[in-house]
Structure 1
Amino acid sequence: MEREIQSTKLKVRQLVITGMLSAISIFLGLTGLGFIKIPPVQATIMHIPVIIGAIIEGPIVGAFIGLCFGLFSMYQAFTAPTPTSFIFWNPIIALLPRILIGVVSYYSYIFMKKAINKNAKVSGITVILLFSFMLYLVFRTFFGTVQSTIIGALVFIILLGLFFKFNVSEKNWVLTIGTASIFGTLANTIGVLSLVHLIYIERFANVIKISPDKAGKFIIGIGITNGIPEALISAIITMPVVIAVLKIRK
């Protein structure tokens, strides 16, 4: 009887969290608050509720919130069309990558927890290298290789210093949640752009008025200039929110 009550409470909690985070994602889209301008790009944070839900409540909850996010993307594409809205008229592109955000975020989180238990230092240095390299790719798009390398190296040194100053608990939070946020975001970016390339490359090239041969490089450029900043921003925003929720539950 007691187990049934606990199971019911869990299901109710998951339904409440799913509805709340789905509503937040839609609210961010409707109000325009889900977009952060980082000249010369505009990063979206509409996927962050999906990542938070997945880490807190698991892959099913995360996938469902991602589904709601995807359905809203389709709604926006039909009700406020732009030259490239045809991309999100396709439910495969609009829904599948959004659903994968929750799944990838959760299993990245679990994978990092296991990796940290085996060797926290190696896991930490690996994540910092990944973070620094992502920044290098972003800056290289706008600046020279030398300047970008210097920036990436400085970021790596600073983060490495901070990492060794953190206590064990803080390291675990940052590594697990930060990694889950980054990979969850990249799952969406890579998923959408890969499907666009696979299904609509010629139509997409015609809309942006470039040759299909150059469209592939253009799509990769979008992934670097938009996807990587979105991944880094999602990690920065998601970490304090998830840490606060998990601490309250303890």
Structure 2
Amino acid sequence: MDYLYNQGVILHCILLIKNSSKEEKKLNKRKKDTRWLASVALMMAVVILLANTPLGMIQLPVIKATTVHIPVILGAILLGPLAGCILGATFGVCSLISNTMAPTLLSFAFSPFLSMTGIPGALKAVWVSVGCRIMIGLVAGWLWILLKKVKLNPVIALPITGFVGALTNTAFVMGSIYKLFINEYAQVKEVAIDAVWGLIMATVTASGIPEAIVAAILVAIIGKVLINIVKIA
């Protein structure tokens, strides 16, 4: 009887330890999820701030380079592709609202409310303004994961991710405008359709490349600091 009693006590203790371990894992997961959500919310606030203030633009010798995609890329690096997609969508919604409230010559390609071709044009505009910006976080997040798997030094991996992430923004936005709005683009620019490709490539060269270089530098500098902070935390 004493033997059975002792065995029962041991079994009970084992079950208590297992249950305690499970509860601890659940608690740690909740803490991690809460911390992730708080971090994403903080990065979203940064995106919104940059998108609605002059801080989102850097004056270069020829053009102004946007920096709104920088927190999207950094969020994708620090918090993963899902966070990058959420931040990219935030960037896209800010762009959509901005082009609706303060329209420019090409706002029809970014705001569904300014569509020149009805519902099809509106859906295309949502893709350009929001969908293309989601791709920034998706590409940057998975590229960072790939570079980590091949154990590339962060000093090299960070600027590469920043450069590619920024070019993703330019390539998807301008490429989508060319594919989806070529006729409307030619109309507002008052050029022949054959000339649109040249204008698109001029924009990519004059704006996209400088923005990618700025992104590479800023992501390398800021990313290194933030990665160290995350490690300490």
Q: SS at 2:65's partner residue?
A: strand
The answer to whether the 8 A contact 1:185-1:227 is kept is yes
Where relative contact order (Cα < 8 A, 6+ residues apart) is larger, the structure is 1
Show structure 1 runs of 5+ residues with no match.
121-171
The answer to whether the 8 A contact 1:83-1:207 is kept is yes
Amino acid in structure 1 at the alignment position of 2:193:
P
The answer to whether the 8 A contact 1:186-1:227 is kept is yes
Does 2:75 align with 1:40?
Answer: no
C-alpha deviation, 1:114, in angstroms: 3.3
Amino acid in structure 1 at the alignment position of 2:27:
I
The count of aligned residue pairs is 196
The answer to whether the 8 A contact 2:88-2:136 is kept is yes
Identity across the alignment (%): 33
Does 2:211 align with 1:219?
Answer: no
C-alpha deviation, 1:112, in angstroms: 2.2
What TM-score do the two structures reach when normalised by structure 1?
Answer: 0.75
Distance 1:211 1:23 in 2: 42
Distance 1:214 1:34 in 2: 30
Distance 1:209 1:69 in 2: 29
C-alpha deviation, 1:248, in angstroms: 2.1
Structure 2 equivalent of residue 161 of structure 1: none
Show structure 2 runs of 5+ residues with no match.
1-22, 112-124
Does 2:147 align with 1:112?
Answer: yes
C-alpha deviation, 1:39, in angstroms: 2.3
Distance 1:200 1:249 in 2: 43
1:52-84 Cα shifts (integer Å, max 9, x gaps): 100001000110011111011100011111111
The answer to whether the 8 A contact 1:112-1:179 is kept is no
C-alpha deviation, 1:240, in angstroms: 2.1
Structure 2 equivalent of residue 205 of structure 1: 186
Q: 2:177 aligns with which of 196, 208, 220?
A: 196
Distance 2:79 2:226 in 1: 11
Structure 1 equivalent of residue 118 of structure 2: none
Q: SS at 2:64's partner residue?
A: strand
Distance 1:180 1:57 in 2: 14
4+ runs of 1 displaced by more than 3 Å?
Answer: none
CA RMSD of aligned residues (A): 1.3
Q: SS at 1:82's partner residue?
A: coil
Structure 1 equivalent of residue 136 of structure 2: 101
Does 2:219 align with 1:228?
Answer: no
Does 2:83 align with 1:61?
Answer: yes
Does 2:221 align with 1:186?
Answer: no
Distance 1:91 1:30 in 2: 19
Larger C-alpha radius of gyration, 1 or 2?
2
The answer to whether the 8 A contact 2:51-2:91 is kept is no
In the TM superposition, 1:57-206 aligns within 5 A as 57-89=79-111, 90-115=125-150, 117=151, 172-206=153-187
Q: SS at 1:33's partner residue?
A: helix
C-alpha deviation, 1:111, in angstroms: 2.1
Does 2:220 align with 1:242?
Answer: no
What TM-score do the two structures reach when normalised by structure 2?
Answer: 0.80
Amino acid in structure 1 at the alignment position of 2:32:
L
Does 2:42 align with 1:7?
Answer: no
Amino acid in structure 2 at the alignment position of 1:83:
L
